[in-house]
Amino acid sequence: MTYDVSKAIKWGIAPIGWRNDDIPSIGKDNNLQQLLSDIVVSGFQGTEVGGFFPEPQKLNYELNLRRLQIAGQWFSSFIIRDGIEKASAAFEEHCKFLQAVHAPIAVVSEQTYTIQTSDTANIFTDKHHFTDQEWDEVCTGLNHYGEIAAKYGIKVAYHHHMGTGIQTKAETDRLMANTDPKLVGLLYDTGHIAVSDGDYLSLLEAHIDRIVHVHFKDVRFDKEKECRQKGLTFQNSFLNGMFTVPGDGDLDFKPVFQKLVEHQYQGWIVVEAEQDPAKANPLEMAQIAQKYIQNELLAK
């Protein structure tokens, strides 16, 4: 069968531009209906589940009214802190929710020792490095998550993330080498790897066969430089405008999209740009991203 980009790739936008789960005070006036309607107006097919989303029945009702779909949801994993058994029980509950909202992807990040929500840690220098034993626990636990997810028809997409034990390409390489490709896929997030390594294409090229979910997050290089020089926390960095939507920052998404298409990627690409909604109107940002996707990626 020939590969058809318009059928193979679904485009979403994450709630994080409207409301941020880690800072509940920002964007608190943006309710679910507003968010979902903005997503429709800006021409996206779906979203990920935000922390403020309701239980599945109510959510499905609001989604169906707007013909929107759920791509997936973030799962804060604590395999090292809690042990595999306890962490897996929490993950299984997560999968039940995802199945009830017909989502194909569980976005997993090991959050033991994360500094992404710290009020003081320098996000550019202070992250934790797993010990060999911690690596073994995480990889074993993630394989187990993959088995659980499969029972619900869901795939695990591991999210490499600034400030966590699996942030850099080298760390993601190690994770990919020590987990079962049938059980653990990769979420490729352009913004996180660009800020971490200063290079966002090598990770894509190295693990293109493992990528099961994509986040398109753009970076404003001038803001990144400023945040780095000041040694800001993760939250202060994004409140300071380090991230934005594709088309508004300095990353070139054309080679990324081309590579995904060349490899006949099937799945979601979700625009995800945490910023302060008081400074960056989320609907306007969604429209900038959609224009970039249509004019610079799909029209070429």
Extract the tokens encoding 292.
């970039």
Shortest distance, CB of residue 51 to ligand LX7YND4F, whole angstroms?
9
CB 42 within 8 A of CB 13: yes
- Interaction partner, residue 253 (ligand LX7YND4F, Co ion, none; CB < 5-8 Å by kind): none
CA pair distance 266, 211, nearest whole angstrom: 10
215 is a site residue for Co ion (CB under 5 A): yes
Q: Which is nearer to Co ion, 73 or 122 (CB)?
A: 73
130 is a site residue for ligand LX7YND4F (CB under 6 A): no
Number of residues binding to Co ion, judged by CB under 5 A: 3
Binding ligand LX7YND4F (rule: CB under 6 A), the pick from 19, 160, 215, 223 is 215
Q: Which stretch binds Co ion (CB under 5 A): 68-76, 162-170, 267-275, 277-285?
A: 267-275
Q: Which is nearer to Co ion, 74 or 97 (CB)?
A: 74
State which residue has the least CB distance to Co ion: 215
- Interaction partner, residue 74 (Co ion, ligand LX7YND4F, none; CB < 5-8 Å by kind): ligand LX7YND4F
DSSP string computed for the chain: ----HHHHEEEEE-GGGT-BTTBTTTTTT--HHHHHHHHHHTT--EEEE-TT---HHHHHHHHHHHT-EEEEEEEEE-HHHH-HHHHHHHHHHHHHHHHHTT--EEEEEE-TT--TT-SS--TTT------HHHHHHHHHHHHHHHHHHHHTT-EEEEE--TTSSS-SHHHHHHHHHTS-TTTEEEEEEHHHHHHHHS-SHHHHHHHGGGEEEEEE-EE-HHHHHHHHHHT--HHHHHHTT-EE-TTSSS---HHHHHHHHHTT--EEEEE-----TTTS-HHHHHHHHHHHIIIIII--
Binding Co ion (rule: CB under 5 A), the pick from 38, 110, 137, 189 is 189
Q: Which stretch binds Co ion (CB under 5 A): 21-29, 174-182, 208-216, 291-299?
A: 208-216
Binding ligand LX7YND4F (rule: CB under 6 A), the pick from 137, 171, 189, 224 is 189
Please name every residue paired with 46 in a beta bridge, in sequence order, or none if there are none.
Answer: 12, 69
Shortest distance, CB of residue 64 to ligand LX7YND4F, whole angstroms?
25
110 is a site residue for ligand LX7YND4F (CB under 6 A): no
Number of residues binding to ligand LX7YND4F, judged by CB under 6 A: 10
Q: Give the chain's length.
A: 300
Contacts of 31 (CB under 8 A, 6+ apart): none
Shortest distance, CB of residue 108 to ligand LX7YND4F, whole angstroms?
11
Binding ligand LX7YND4F (rule: CB under 6 A), the pick from 237, 265, 272, 297 is 272
* Sites of contact with ligand LX7YND4F (CB under 6 A): 16, 21, 74, 116, 159, 189, 192, 215, 272, 274
* Sites of contact with Co ion (CB under 5 A): 189, 215, 272
